[in-house]
Amino acid sequence: MKKHLLFTPGPVNVAPNLRVAISKEDICHREVEFEHLLNSIEQKLLQVLKIENPGNYRAVVITGSGTAANESILSSVVGNKHILILSNGEFGGRLHQMSKIHNQNTHLLEFPWGENFDLDRIDAYLTQHSIDVVAMVHHETCAGLLNSLEDVGALTKKHGVTFVVDCVSSAGAEIIEMEKCNIAFMSSSSSKAIGSYAGLSFVVGKTTEFEKLKDIPAKTMYLNLYKFYEFISTCYQTPNTPAVHLFYALEQALTNIIDLGVDQHYSSMKDKANMLRQGLLNLGLEFLIKQQDMCSILTTVNVPLNVNVSVLRQQLREKSIIIYEGKGCFKGKVFQVGNIGEISILDIQYFLNCLKEILINFSATEAREQQARQMMQVDSTASNEPYIAEIAL
């Protein structure tokens, strides 16, 4: 059995042939071999992400985790104009923090964690303020909540605003209709639904939008999005030294999806999520949000009253299963179970069986403790104060 079954929203268990790909031969990234590799990755990314009219879009690859792709967008697109961040969770908060570093004119509209955006408030804000760019997270991973790209996209179209989206945890799991949703740039990473190692991220954008970046002065050297575009479009290279072996692995992960069938990849991910969710419901568990608002990579489960989530996580770890605990206002209240990477139907069954066993133990302990408390109560009413003092000792 694998050492750790990663039921997390990234990192993932990678396919065996990725381990082979990552140890391929050494090449020089300024030679034609790397140009072929990057060209192939770009074509495959556009195919796997099901980008309509791929001739109008480009995908650039950055050495750095998903945050690097987000930071390249936020530091390269705004210039000295005004950007509005929409946030309903941890990752929306991170976009805001990042934008404040690079953009003086950063606005924020905050909504409660785990709740859908209030579109009227966004519409009103865009009417009352002169905003040039809107940024949001597609799948807010902290709650497992999918925010509507179509609704916000329509508002950005109505107000003539550039729309950029953090799709780090949704790309490759949900189909993102860039054209229809008016998206100029979206970001994602190698180590979530695409199923490769952590360390690479990418930005997909409309060619005409990349062209517009040319005249905006750079705010960072490494993450200058226009430079990535210029390099890929002139010579299929990256501005600085890329992590070549991670590129090999990413290409293999994309090839695996194409070999399986791109549609089959998306439906298999949905099937696994549905199977996991049905199993959790069968154990009497409840979810933080409605199933229809979830992304097919992750399920966020309310922690039952009698369960200590740190203990639960530790007991699962003893069975080689890794899950996530809630963060921020969800700490102690939820746990999260992912179903991306090399997680099979059998692995999901194994997880559900282990979880069942652990939950039964929690209930048994709870019942014993309750019984003990009741006996104490009976005793303490039968006798009086001196006896209670004795227990307190």
User: Residue 342 CB, nearest distance to ligand PLP (Å)?
Assistant: 19
3-state secondary structure of 167: coil
**264 marked as part of a ligand binding site:** no
Instruction: Enumerate the β-bridge partners of residue 61.
Output: 202
Cα gap 321→382, rounded to integer Å: 47
Q: Which stretch binds ligand PLP (CB under 6 A): 157-165, 166-174, 304-312, 364-372?
A: 166-174
In the list 10, 93, 195, 205, the residue contacting ligand PLP (rule: CB under 6 A) is 10
Instruction: Enumerate the β-bridge partners of residue 188.
Output: 202
Nearer Cβ to ligand PLP, position 66 or 239?
Answer: 66
**Shortest CA distance to 61 belongs to which of 228, 256, 251?**
228
Nearer Cβ to ligand PLP, position 156 or 189?
Answer: 189
* CA distances in angstroms from 14 to 109, 146, 184, 249, 269, listed in the order given: 37, 25, 30, 9, 15
Task: Check residue 166 for interaction with ligand PLP (CB under 6 A).
Answer: yes
Task: Check residue 141 for interaction with ligand PLP (CB under 6 A).
Answer: yes
Within 10 angstroms of residue 356's Cβ, the number of other Cβ atoms is: 14
The site map against ligand PLP for 170-199 (x = CB under 6 A) is -------------------x----------
Q: Which stretch binds ligand PLP (CB under 6 A): 12-20, 65-73, 77-85, 313-321?
A: 65-73
Residues with Cβ within 8 Å of residue 205, at least 6 apart in sequence: 57, 58, 60, 184, 185, 186, 225, 229
Task: Check residue 147 for interaction with ligand PLP (CB under 6 A).
Answer: no
Sole residue written with tokens 């200590």: 308
Q: For residues 68-107, which are near ligand PLP according to CB under 6 A?
A: 70, 91
User: Residue 307 CB, nearest distance to ligand PLP (Å)?
Assistant: 25
Which residue is nearest to ligand PLP, using beta carbons? 66
Cα gap 200→66, rounded to integer Å: 7
* Dihedral angle sign, alpha carbons of residues 268, 183, 154, 119: positive
The site map against ligand PLP for 11-50 (x = CB under 6 A) is ----------------------------------------
Binding residues for ligand PLP (CB under 6 A): 10, 65-67, 70, 91, 137, 141, 166, 168-169, 189
